[in-house]
Amino acid sequence: MTLTDDWFTEICPESGSAFSLQVKRKLHEERTPFQHIEILETTHFGTLMVIDGFIMLSDRDNFLYHEMMSHPVLFTHPAPERVLIVGGGDCGTLREVLRHPEIKQVTQVEIDERVTRLAERYFPELCEANDDPRATLLFADAIRWVKEAAPGSLDVIIVDSTDPVGPAEGLFSAKFYRDCMRALGDEGVLVHQSESPLIHQDLIRAMRGAMREAGFSRLQTILFPQPVYPSGWWSATMAGKGGPLNLFREEASRNKPFPTRYYNHAIHRAALAMPEFWGEKVDCSTLSR
Amino acid sequence: MTLTDDWFTEICPESGSAFSLQVKRKLHEERTPFQHIEILETTHFGTLMVIDGFIMLSDRDNFLYHEMMSHPVLFTHPAPERVLIVGGGDCGTLREVLRHPEIKQVTQVEIDERVTRLAERYFPELCEANDDPRATLLFADAIRWVKEAAPGSLDVIIVDSTDPVGPAEGLFSAKFYRDCMRALGDEGVLVHQSESPLIHQDLIRAMRGAMREAGFSRLQTILFPQPVYPSGWWSATMAGKGGPLNLFREEASRNKPFPTRYYNHAIHRAALAMPEFWGEKVDCSTLSR
């Protein structure tokens, strides 16, 4: 079977696989100072944002990624109040973070303002919390912002970045994680999206190594489905300065005062379960056990 | 980005999505009395079997599906000895079932002998247990076989079928499940692959309805990743005559005397966790709670 012209295809060269969505029409396309952005209307996945040829999010399944980038880390930190989101320009993670009433301030540092402006236009539901008085949206280089942040001034850092090529490359380094370490308080937790547990095992291992090198004593990768990303199976890796990251405020999670579509306390526990291959292929240390 | 000729593409029309794998060469192709089978050599996923245009399995990720079709149901039944596999011609599920030393007999009823003959040739590692004296491979119509099976003669039935179109259609019906019900002993458990939890919610709901209609008092769907199937997120639904299916022989699972690559007791528990949307979209009853 071959695809006709009305399909958008993302090739994942490192796994010789490709994922395609059928497209009704192109809603927008522009080249920003940082990247090339397309907004497409698909037949079954709603609106789609593509950056530099990589699918960022669709209406239909972004809830999986956004909920799993925010709620697990926030229910893991014992008392999160001050949050930094690095990247996250579509504002879907920001919306989820702001659902937690205990959060006092969220700063989002996205390098490309156009991502947020286009999200406001094409994904308005993800941006519905942008005017929350607890939120500050900055458009700047997050690597520099974190380096200059006051020590111990953050409880949680969420790195909601693109893949480790292009503008996001510097975010996957011990140097950046060391700056995060310094900016976080004693119980601070960082979480960074860490690609596919099937395809990107080397990358996850390297990220975990860089986090350890930066001084984080606790690591925990979480796993979840994400159909529009390569392999449909995705991960995020938490790195912490305080207690174990495989424990969380389960009672608070069970009684969360806001709706979700994927996340709940049972899904949180489930996301902590690692496949048998994990020990051999990814986690050669005992730090996360 | 468009794909050149050296890609195999499976379109999933009901979700306007497609998944492609890069192909080195075609190893085999034939039309059997039942279906059209292709064996392809991919660049990164090893050997691939395609039936009627649908990807059945790849070397790289079939361990996910085969382990999750066998180990959860076998650790859920209190003392499984007699197993029937419906379909399962590639023998990957059979191999996993035979890893359990307590299993005394496994009958596999596959309608198309050519699937098994091609698996023996192109997926020899999946067929390495085919000569186990506990295994009987039959090539026949499983719907008829189950109808004629002695009442109470089976502990576990694993329906490792293709999608509910073509030869497998009759397997997704209350009539077939009723025959399974009769063939199962008092604590008997049936498990049937039940497609994507994101894309096929209507089908899963209908399957669960048919299982209830057939008289099964307990239902439990389990979730797991399966990159080569639509959405990369897959499910299997268990239906039981005995105790709750969200409990399992966890100590035995923890001490399993055989290797796996995905399944372990923590993954088993994780597979039982249902997303928030489940109650609203799929499980409108309380039977599985």
- Quote the percentage of chain A above a pLDDT of 90: 90
- Residue B80, classified by CB atoms within 10 Å of its CB into exposed (0-12), middle (13-18) or buried (19+), is buried
B131, two tokens: 């000569």
Provide, as residue numbers in chain B, all residues whose Cβ is less than 8 Å from the Cβ of A233. Answer: 225, 227, 232-233
Task: Identify the band that residue A289 occupies on the pLDDT scale cut at 50, 70 and 90.
Answer: very low
Task: Identify the band that residue B66 occupies on the pLDDT scale cut at 50, 70 and 90.
Answer: very high
At B69-93, the pLDDT tens digits run 999 999 999 999 999 999 999 999 9
- Contact, A118 vs A27, CB < 8 A? no
Mean pLDDT of the A230-242 span: 97
A103, two tokens: 């959060």
d(CA B61, nearest CA chain A) in Å: 8
Of B43, B48, B70, residue with least CA distance to B59 = B48
pLDDT at A288: 40
Of B157, B261, B270, B160, residue with least CA distance to B216 = B157
Within chain A, all domains assigned CATH 3.40.50.150 are found at: 62-281
At A169-184, the pLDDT tens digits run 888 899 999 999 999 9
* Buried/exposed B209-222: b ≥16 CB within 10 Å, e otherwise: ebbbebebebbbbb
User: Phi, psi (5° rounding) for residue B81?
Assistant: -130, -35
Do A19 and B17 lie within an 8 Å CB cutoff? yes
Crossing angle, helix B174-183 and helix B201-213, to 10 degrees?
A: 50
At A109-159, the pLDDT tens digits run 999 999 999 999 999 999 999 999 999 999 999 999 999 999 999 999 999
Mean pLDDT of the A37-52 span: 98
pLDDT at A285: 59
Alpha helices for A58-173 (secondary structure H): 62-76, 92-98, 113-122, 142-148
- Contact, B236 vs B194, CB < 8 A? yes
Mean pLDDT of the A8-28 span: 97
Whether residue B231 has pLDDT greater than 80: yes
Mean pLDDT of the B228-238 span: 98
**CATH number attached to the domain at A7-58:** 2.30.140.10
- Torsion sign, CA atoms A59, A61, A66, A71: positive
Provide, as residue numbers in chain A, all residues whose Cβ is less than 8 Å from the Cβ of B2. Answer: 3, 5, 9
Do A273 and B277 lie within an 8 Å CB cutoff? no
Number of Cβ within a 10 Å radius of residue B1? 10
Task: Identify the band that residue B249 occupies on the pLDDT scale cut at 50, 70 and 90.
Answer: very high
Within chain A, all domains assigned CATH 2.30.140.10 are found at: 7-58
Of B236, B155, B154, B234, residue with least CA distance to B192 = B236
Catalytic-role residue among A61, A112, A155, A160: A160
ipTM: 0.95
**CATH number attached to the domain at A62-281:** 3.40.50.150
Do A233 and B231 lie within an 8 Å CB cutoff? no
pLDDT at A166: 73
Mean pLDDT of the B48-70 span: 97
Mean pLDDT of the B8-33 span: 97
- Contact, A99 vs A122, CB < 8 A? no
- Quote the percentage of chain B above a pLDDT of 70: 97
Pick among A55, A200, A276 to test the B interface (most B CBs inside 10 A): A276
B198, two tokens: 């994101």
Number of Cβ within a 10 Å radius of residue B207? 27
Which among A16, A22, A276 has CB closest to B42? A16
Provide, as residue numbers in chain A, all residues whose Cβ is less than 8 Å from the Cβ of B261. Answer: 275-277
Query: What is the reported pTM?
Result: 0.96
At B108-128, the pLDDT tens digits run 999 999 999 999 999 999 999
Bridge partners of A22, per DSSP, are: A7
In which residue are the tokens 């995060």 written? A180
pLDDT at B5: 78
At B189-224, the pLDDT tens digits run 999 999 999 999 999 999 999 999 999 999 999 999
